[in-house]
């Protein structure tokens, strides 16, 4: 088991290294650097000014050297200023100018994530603050999504081909066909619009005080989460992810229900609810567990869409802003986080699978 | 000036406007149902209610895209005075002999929402099926040898596929589909690699079958190579000497990104099925007969893997449609005036709480197309399992 873990972590690190290099390469293309220079130093500067801006800020070294700087394996660039002070990657990050005062290397390995050019703040601070906001969103999504998906899947799968099965399966298919930007738009139009949907009706009946039933903007949830400002974003993400998990649960449940031991239990007179709860459920939930774990990175897509649509400033919103402004170091940090989430959930799902299913042993 | 339409009127007019679609669907169903016993899996589809419903939804949008020029009531790019954010059924101030109403209202730039939605179907259906097809050919061409031969080749290809899959799709889109990237060599290089796969696929496919009959082989493979390389030069490098094949840098960028995201998943599916099928007796029989590895992969394993692959193909077109919508939603890689559904939703969402119709129409259109494809896949899966 330890050897398996060590090998998996080794592959994970190598994957993360490859992926961050790809992100680094794509964000540091000459055309993208030019855009960055223009957003930082003014949009009308000439080509010569762009070149000198890039030169002054250490962007004109070879790509691999700068990737090494970012990782912290290559010493950061330095230059003596006209007034005798020193400047350079590490000097700027530490905000000092005395020669020799800054460390030699300052990258990921030394704990420096760099500065965000979009938010003009430390990347680590931006990411941790926003990740917290997204963590709460994801927590609620999972709280809503997982029980709902398992319930739908188990109910549909326990009697294959029945009317319940048909209608719940169709519902699951419909939910996988509704991406977040569709369900979000429909929800807002139906529940959070002061002009159409049910809100004007409820207002005219005097059921609700404010102009709308649900808030179409989740920014206020940062201070205080209420049912009314958080329900729509959570439902929008949960709905799209739910269908897939429900279908896997159903498939797994129908397979279990045809097993010999279920028939034996039936023949010895165990009641149907007892068969489902005691005998079938435990074995039927192995496959959904792995799928739920693998679903988490997939929800990231939804998080970006929903946070942009409902203007909820979380991790997805930061990713969108960083990409729109070519904020290199923020984008790199965000991709490191995203990649780590993907690889960690894969690892957990593998380990959990082995743990839940004693038939599989890793040598 | 005519009176604005009420909802029953709007639906009646929409039904009338879509007449070519209804006729085409009725004809298709009449022919298909009367010959359904001779049509194999496609015919069996008409035994399943869910599959038939899904197929109807899909064909509705296919025919809408085909007959879009007959259906649209106005130019989808034209702006009409006084129609900014007009509600559904509003009458035009000055129709000037044209259609007197905006059936589904006007958007924030006073364009007809209905016509844009219809034209958007064409935009989506022009890309999604082809992107899914290319992804499948790449996935098959790489997945078959990875599963059948295994060893170092399998390890290497699986690692690369996992690498792409570990990328959050949205991050990849943000990085890969951007105006700055379009001007670099990256999309061209990727297209050069990705579009070469279908040509190789067909060459190997036909060569493996006909290499014992050199005359036939030379004819078929020669035709594939000539037509393939002709299309390849145009699509990947925009260097078609006759100007028949071509893609704008915008479109190429979107296409490449979507294929790049889809192909690794197909690869993993094909690899899994191949590893399962290669232990069967008929593969062992072919090996004993002395057939080459490519013949076994292409003509023994692939035809027997068709069931799950056809089902996944339907799902993948739907997923590609969702991905295209996501791209449009973030304003990535689309022309500013483009009527595709994703960017129409994106433009409509700014005034969503006040004038939702501009975003709702394309959103429901996209949902119904994807739902149709998913139901179709479900029907096909059910019918193919009955064998």
What residues of B are in contact with residue A175 (Cβ under 8 Å)? none
Residues B121-146, mean pLDDT to the nearest whole number? 92
Rounded to the nearest 10 degrees, the angle between the axes of helix B169-176 and helix A286-309 is 40
B81 exposure class (CB count in 10 Å sphere: 0-12, 13-18, 19+): exposed
pLDDT digits (tens, 9 = 90+) for A286-324: 888 878 887 887 788 889 999 998 888 889 999 998 888
Q: Which residues contact B171 (CB under 8 A, 6 or more apart)?
A: A23, A319, A323, A334, A335, A338
What is the C-alpha separation between B103 and B322, in angstroms, rounded? 26
Interface residue of A21, A22, A29, A181 to substitute, partner B, most B CBs within 10 Å: A181
Mind giving me the DSSP string for B345-380?
Answer: HHHHGGGTTT-THHHHHHHHHHHHHHHHHHHHHHHH
pLDDT digits (tens, 9 = 90+) for A331-359: 888 888 888 888 888 888 878 777 777 76
What is the C-alpha separation between A194 and A204, in angstroms, rounded? 11
> Which of B257, B220, B263, B373 is closest to B311 using CA atoms?
B373
Residues B277-283, mean pLDDT to the nearest whole number? 91
What residues of A are in contact with residue B356 (Cβ under 8 Å)? 185, 188-189, 193, 195-197
B171/A323 CB distance under 8 A: yes
Chain A from 270 to 299: CB within 8 A of any B CB: 297
A185/B325 CB distance under 8 A: no
What residues of A are in contact with residue B175 (Cβ under 8 Å)? 23, 26-27, 323, 331
Instruction: Using CB atoms, pick whichever of B171, B329, B359 lies closest to residue A305.
Output: B329
Share of chain B above pLDDT 70, in %: 99
**pLDDT higher than 80, residue A218:** no
Q: How far is A123 from chain B (nearest CA, A)?
A: 17
What is the C-alpha separation between A211 and A207, in angstroms, rounded? 11
Interface residue of A18, A63, A170, A182 to substitute, partner B, most B CBs within 10 Å: A182
The token pair that represents B254 in the structure block? 């979107």
Q: Which residues contact B226 (CB under 8 A, 6 or more apart)?
A: none
Instruction: Using CB atoms, pick whichever of A170, A189, A316 lies closest to residue B352.
Output: A189
> Do A113 and A329 form a contact (C-beta atoms < 8 A)?
yes
pLDDT digits (tens, 9 = 90+) for B6-59: 888 888 888 888 889 999 999 999 998 888 888 887 888 888 888 899 999 999
Q: How far is A186 from chain B (nearest CA, A)?
A: 7
Chain B from 341 to 370: CB within 8 A of any A CB: 342, 345, 348-349, 352-356, 359-360, 363-364, 366-367, 370
A301/B352 CB distance under 8 A: no
B281 contact A CB<8A: no
- Check residue A363 and give its pLDDT: 46
What is the C-alpha separation between B9 and B2, in angstroms, rounded? 13
Measured CA to CA in angstroms, residue A83 lies from A87, A89, B155, B168, B241 at distances of 11, 18, 56, 46, 61
* Strand, helix or coil for residue B112: strand
Residues B144-160, mean pLDDT to the nearest whole number? 92
Q: How far is A191 from chain B (nearest CA, A)?
A: 9
Q: Which helix (H) or strand (E) holds A80?
A: strand A78-80
**Residues of A3-38 as b/e, b for ≥16 C-beta within 10 angstroms?**
eeeeebeeebeebbeebbebbbebbbbeebbbbbbb
Pairing of strands A121-122, B90-91: unpaired
Q: How far is A101 from chain B (nearest CA, A)?
A: 36
DSSP B106: B
Q: Give chain B's mean pLDDT.
A: 88
């Amino acid at each position: 088991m330890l050897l398996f873990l060590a090998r998996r972590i080794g592959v994970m690190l190598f994957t993360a290294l490859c992926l961050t290099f790809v992100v680094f390469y794509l964000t540091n293309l000459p055309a993208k650097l030019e855009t960055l220079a223009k957003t930082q130093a003014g949009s009308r500067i000439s080509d010569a000014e762009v070149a000198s801006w890039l030169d002054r800020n250490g962007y004109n070294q070879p790509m691999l050297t700068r990737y090494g700087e970012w990782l912290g394996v290559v010493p950061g660039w330095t230059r003596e200023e006209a007034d005798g002070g020193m400047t350079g990657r590490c000097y700027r990050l530490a905000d000092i100018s005395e020669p020799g005062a800054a460390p030699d290397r300052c990258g990921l390995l030394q704990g420096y994530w760099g500065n965000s050019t979009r938010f003009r703040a430390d990347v680590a601070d931006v990411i941790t603050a926003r990740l917290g906001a997204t963590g709460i969103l994801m927590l609620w999504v999972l709280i809503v999504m997982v029980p709902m998906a398992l319930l739908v899947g188990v109910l549909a799968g326990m009697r294959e081909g029945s009317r319940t099965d048909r209608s719940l399966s169709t519902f699951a298919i419909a939910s996988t066909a509704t991406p977040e930007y569709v369900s979000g738009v429909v929800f807002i139009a139906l529940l959070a619009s002061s002009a159409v949907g049910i809100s004007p009706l409820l207002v005219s009946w005097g059921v609700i005080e404010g102009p709308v039933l649900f808030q179409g903007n989740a920014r206020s949830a940062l201070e205080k989460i209420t049912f009314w400002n958080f329900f729509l974003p959570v439902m929008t993400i949960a709905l799209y992810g739910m269908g897939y998990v429900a279908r896997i649960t159903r498939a797994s449940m129908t397979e279990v229900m045809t097993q010999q031991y279920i028939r034996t239990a039936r023949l010895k007179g165990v009641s149907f609810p007892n068969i489902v709860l005691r005998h079938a459920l435990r074995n039927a939930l192995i496959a959904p567990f792995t799928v739920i774990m693998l679903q988490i990175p997939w929800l990231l897509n939804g998080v970006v869409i929903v946070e942009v649509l409902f203007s909820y400033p979380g991790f997805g919103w930061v990713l969108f802003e960083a990409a729109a402004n070519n904020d290199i170091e923020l984008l790199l940090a965000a991709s490191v986080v995203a990649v780590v989430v993907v690889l960690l959930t894969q690892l957990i799902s593998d380990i959990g699978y082995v743990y839940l299913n004693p038939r599989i042993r890793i040598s | 000036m005519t009176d604005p339409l009420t909802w029953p009127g709007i639906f009646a007019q929409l039904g009338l406007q879509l007449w070519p679609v209804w006729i085409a669907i009725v004809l298709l169903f009449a022919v298909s149902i009367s010959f359904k016993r001779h049509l194999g899996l496609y015919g069996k589809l008409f035994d399943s209610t869910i599959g038939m419903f899904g197929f109807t939804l899909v064909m509705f949008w296919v025919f809408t895209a085909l007959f879009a020029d007959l259906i649209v009531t106005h130019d989808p790019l034209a702006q009409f005075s006084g129609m900014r954010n007009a509600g559904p059924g509003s009458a035009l101030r000055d129709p000037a002999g044209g259609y007197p109403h905006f059936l589904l209202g006007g958007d924030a730039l006073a364009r007809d929402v209905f016509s844009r939605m219809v034209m958007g179907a064409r935009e989506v259906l022009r890309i999604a099926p082809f992107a899914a097809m290319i992804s499948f050919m790449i996935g098959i061409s790489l997945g078959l040898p990875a599963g059948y031969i295994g060893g170092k080749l399998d390890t290497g290809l699986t690692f690369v596929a996992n690498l792409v899959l570990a990328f959050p799709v949205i991050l990849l889109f943000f990085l890969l589909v951007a105006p700055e990237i379009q001007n670099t060599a990256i999309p061209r290089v990727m297209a050069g690699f990705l579009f070469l796969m279908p040509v190789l696929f067909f060459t190997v496919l036909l060569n493996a079958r006909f290499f014992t009959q050199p005359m036939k082989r030379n004819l078929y493979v020669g035709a594939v190579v000539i037509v393939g390389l002709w299309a390849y030069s145009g699509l990947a490098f925009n260097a078609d000497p006759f100007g028949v094949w071509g893609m704008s840098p915008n479109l190429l960028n979107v296409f490449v990104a979507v294929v790049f995201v889809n192909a690794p998943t197909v690869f993993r599916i094909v690899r899994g099925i191949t590893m399962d099928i290669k232990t069967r007796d008929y593969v062992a029989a072919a090996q004993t007969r002395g057939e080459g590895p490519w013949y076994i992969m292409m003509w023994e394993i692939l035809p027997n893997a068709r069931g799950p692959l056809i089902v996944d193909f339907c799902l993948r077109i739907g997923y590609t449609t969702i991905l295209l919508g996501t791209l449009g939603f973030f304003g990535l890689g689309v022309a500013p005036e483009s009527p595709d559904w994703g960017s129409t939703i994106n433009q409509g969402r700014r005034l969503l709480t006040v004038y939702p119709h501009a975003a709702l129409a394309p959103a429901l259109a996209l949902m119904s197309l994807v739902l149709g494809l998913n139901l179709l896949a479900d029907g096909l899966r059910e019918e193919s399992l009955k064998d």
